[in-house]
Amino acid sequence: MIIVTGGAGFIGSAVVAALNAKGVKDILIVDVLGRDEKWKNLRNLAYTDYLEAGNFLDIITAGKFFLPVDAVFHLGACSSTTEPDASYLVTNNFEYSKSVASFAMDKKARFIYASSAATYGDGSKGFCDDEAMLPQLQPMNMYGFSKQMFDLWSQNNGMAKKIVGLKYFNVYGPNEYHKGDMRSFILKGFMQIQQTGRVKLFKSYNPQYKDGCQMRDFVYVKDAVDMTLFFLENKKANGVFNVGTGRARTWLDLANALFAAMNMQPNIVFEDMPTVLRDKYQYFTQAEIGKIRGAGYKKEITSLEDAVRDYVQNYLLVDKYLSA
């Protein structure tokens, strides 16, 4: 059995779809379905069972999970970079992760978990996924810090060389539809263009970057999932790894790719960035991917233009979800 926490969520459901495509169906999905439309991500997926996250935690902490487990993909977490409740983030992202990791170790199961590029903070210390750099990182928001807490805990407890932590950069693609404010710009921009014919980008408040020239490492969910499953198949590769393209692109590049995918001329306006974000905004991110390449991941990563075209034309325009 493979367990996927966050398996109804964005990356988690994409992992399940990819596992299904490989013929794997003995999957336990763990999540919190809540009141949004996350449940729709499950409709095209094959899995053995589903448990709410609280029930799963009760079972594993009581030592009552008796089925054999081959691997645990721990992808469930609060992913809101603006969540103000630090105690909630510690409980949900840090304490829960410790319990799931300990359970996986007891089961001698492969443990692959989601860290985040948010742990790199403003990028002043670079984007190197060398574990020796972990204590030096300074996240800019509590979400990033909650992920950093677990990265350090696993390192300090001798787990880091036995498990895999994945620092996902700006992931976008199908099955993110339920994420509200945390949806990618591509989805938000697609909806703006459909409604108004134009798209809005934040102005820059850093003199080093012109409006729209802030840069991020945007990675398509299909590539992110392929990198994730690489570690299921390559059990000798352990530690922390970046999941990105290795090539930063501007928000203008992204907006232009979106208009091109919709067969429209660009119509871009710039708006003020909310004050609450200005001191926490990352103006540049770019994954260093030499480590994952060195571990044996050789596949070509989809270009921004091709990925946006696939997302828009094969999913957004036809209201489609991922499936096997």
Q: Do the domain assignments include residue 90?
A: yes
Task: Give pLDDT, residue 276.
Answer: 84
Catalytic residue, from 40, 162, 179, 200: name it: 179
- What type of residue sits at position 54? G
Q: Do the domain assignments include residue 97?
A: yes
Q: Do the domain assignments include residue 130?
A: yes
Rounded Cα–Cα distance for residues 10 and 28 (Å): 16
Q: What is the CATH number of the domain that holds 11?
A: 3.40.50.720
Q: Which residues of the chain have pLDDT under 50?
A: none
Residue positions counted in the chain: 324
Around 124, how many Cα atoms within 13 Å sit in the side-chain half-sphere? 8
Q: Do the domain assignments include residue 298?
A: yes
Rounded Cα–Cα distance for residues 186 and 251 (Å): 10
Rounded Cα–Cα distance for residues 56 and 31 (Å): 9
Task: Give pLDDT, residue 230.
Answer: 98
194-226, pLDDT tens digit by residue? 999 999 999 999 999 999 999 999 999 999 999
> Residue-wise over 88-103: b if at least 16 C-beta within 10 A, else e?
ebeebbbbbbeebbeb
143 an active-site residue?
Answer: yes
Q: Do the domain assignments include residue 317?
A: no
* Structural domain boundaries enclosing 223: 2-172+218-245+286-302
Task: Give pLDDT, residue 82.
Answer: 85
Task: Give pLDDT, residue 17.
Answer: 98
Task: Give pLDDT, residue 318.
Answer: 97
Q: Do the domain assignments include residue 160?
A: yes
Catalytic residue, from 47, 96, 120, 143: name it: 143
A 10 A CB-CB count for 38 gives 21
A 10 A CB-CB count for 236 gives 7
Q: Do the domain assignments include residue 281?
A: no
Count of domains for the chain: 1
Rg (CA), the chain: 19
Task: Give pLDDT, residue 154.
Answer: 96
Q: Do the domain assignments include residue 152?
A: yes
